[in-house]
A and B are shown apart, each in its own frame.
Chain A
Amino acid sequence: MRKRIERVLALTVALTLMALSVACGQACGKRRVVSKYDQGYFDSFESLVKRADYIVRGEVLSKYCDSRSLRIPSEFDEVNGNYDAETVITVYSIKVNESYTSSCESGALLDILVEGGETDKVIHICEEAPEFSVGSEYVFFLSQSRLFKNSAWLLNFYQSAYIVDAGEVRSGGFYGFEITFDTLESIKRNESGNGADS
């Protein structure tokens, strides 16, 4: 009889432990979020250049993921209530090897922010968001961040980043433009020319 009671108790404890472990596994599991975007499209290279605050060639020094509130105060805040616009982003720290706009200097360090990434709580997949390799060099067309110092965003996911490989600049996205270093240098010349005119 005692053995039978012991068996029942052991079974109960085992089942309880199993249930607890499953519950804990679910609670500890990361939230997984998938996002689809409707982004703007630049119908010409000139319009991309015109829209960019920074146009730089830079090497990716490091990358990490972070969760940040990207909310900018607006008239809709009250309507949205306590909705928090915290988003997982990947921060690519780059060293600017060449700046084609006067708004940024060569040699500067810049953080490029891209939506999506993985933190200890959330895996946020932004389909179509580009990923960059540490140690590689790219040309970026960027808009300046108003929330974070020395930081910038890609103008869109598929026309704003170009890879520098074997002395050439190549597009990695559909709708990407054919550009060369001469094209980029001409941006710099045009900018300084415009400056002289004004």
Chain B
Amino acid sequence: MIKETYENDPDKAIQFNSSKSMTGQKPELHIQYVVGEYLSYGYDTNSIPISYANYGTVWNRAIQKSINSWNTSNANVSFNKTTSEWNRILVLNKEGTAYFGRMCMEWPSFGSKLRRFRIELSSNSIIGADEHDGSFNLENFIQSVLCHELGHTVWLNDNPSTMQASIMKYTRDRNSMVRPAAFDISNVSKKYK
């Protein structure tokens, strides 16, 4: 039996994960998807402090471009550079399931209002993407991944079920899609009217 659970509430998700028992009667492959355009959490104000160190010209230029692409859109959000220990963008070299970036948040101190997060850009996965993609553009790739992660901080979910272009889709071309699409901007602006 293949089970797909659709959860929008991280609290429930925690309970579900903790209480799940292994019966061994029927083989199961459990993958938990959060469906819909929105997560059940997002930053509580439209002015979002964010910090990052100096990772060199290419990385920092891509980081700045990603931030600008949100700030100059009509999404009505503004990521502002600070020196805070939280809300950091980190470029890391970590082993793991190949991911380009991830957004981590502490839960549930603030209910659905996100105030503390950390974005990790996986340098080895991003640079390694070059190995199997002839059209690889490092700066664009970083920009696309960070734009996606910033989208999570402002409520956006992965893989929205729309035919329209979205920076939140796993299937996007990260070499060319480097800024939030009209669909993403519209969805974020609805959260920060």
Interface residues in chain A, defined as those with a beta carbon under 8 Å from any beta carbon in chain B:
31-41, 43, 47, 50-51, 70-74, 76, 79-80, 83, 85, 87, 113-115, 118, 123, 125, 127-138, 143, 145-147, 153-158, 161-165, 170-175
Q: Contact between B24 and A34 (Cβ–Cβ < 8 Å)? A: no
- A129 → chain B, closest Cβ, in Å? 8
Q: Kindly list chain B residues whose C-beta atoms are within 8 Å of the C-beta of A35.
A: 102-105
Q: Say whether B93 contacts A72, CB under 8 Å.
A: yes
Assuming A37-B101, A37-B102, is B29 touching A145 (CB within 8 A)? Answer: no
Q: Of residues 3 to 38 in B, which have CB atoms within 8 Å of A's CB atoms?
A: 4, 10, 13-14, 17-18, 20, 22-24, 26-34
A137 contacts B94, C-beta separation under 8 Å: no
B155 CB to closest chain A CB (Å) equals: 11
- Give the distance to chain A from B92, nearest Cβ to Cβ, in Å: 6
Contact A157 B17 (CB under 8 A): no
Once A and B bind, how many residue pairs between them come within 8 Å at the CB atom? 187
A33, A123, A128: which contacts B32 (Cβ < 8 A)? A128
Stretch of B74-82, B123-131, B178-186 at the chain-chain interface: B123-131
Q: Which B residue's beta carbon lies closest to that of A116?
A: B17
Question: Can you report 7 residue pairs joining A to B where beta carbons are below 8 Å apart?
Answer: A36-B149, A41-B171, A72-B94, A76-B55, A118-B17, A132-B29, A156-B97
Chain B contacts for A162, CB-based, 8 A: 29
Please report B residues at the A interface, Cβ cutoff 8 Å. 1-2, 4, 10, 13-14, 17-18, 20, 22-24, 26-34, 39, 41, 53-55, 90-108, 123-125, 129, 132, 145, 148-149, 152, 158-159, 170-171
Whether the Cβ atoms of A143 and B28 lie closer than 8 Å is no
Q: Are A174 and B33 in contact (CB under 8 A)?
A: yes
Minimum CB–CB distance for B180 against chain A, Å: 14
CB distance from A31 to the nearest CB of B (A): 7
Which of B2, B18, B97, B104 touches A172 (beta carbons < 8 Å)? Answer: B2
Q: In the complex, given contacts A39-B97, A128-B34, A134-B24, what are 17 additional A-B residue pairs having Cβ atoms less than 8 angstroms apart?
A: A32-B108, A34-B107, A36-B158, A37-B102, A39-B170, A76-B55, A76-B92, A87-B94, A127-B32, A127-B34, A130-B31, A132-B29, A132-B30, A138-B29, A153-B98, A158-B31, A162-B29
| B33 lies within 8 A of A31 (CB) | no
Do A125 and B13 touch across chains, with their CB atoms under 8 A apart?
Answer: yes
The reply to whether B30 and A70 contact each other, CB–CB distance below 8 Å, is no
> How long is the Cα–Cα vector from A132 to B33 in the complex, in angstroms?
15
B33 contacts across to A, CB distance below 8 A = 127-128, 174
Cα of A117 to Cα of B26 in the assembled complex, Å: 22
- Which of A39, A137, A145, A157 is close to B31, meaning CB atoms less than 8 Å apart? A157
Question: Could you tell me if B2 and A33 are in contact, using CB atoms closer than 8 angstroms?
Answer: no
Nearest Cβ distance between residue A46 and chain B, in whole angstroms?
11
Flag if B95 contacts A136 (CB, 8 Å).
Answer: no
Separation of A34 and B7 alpha carbons in the complex (Å): 13
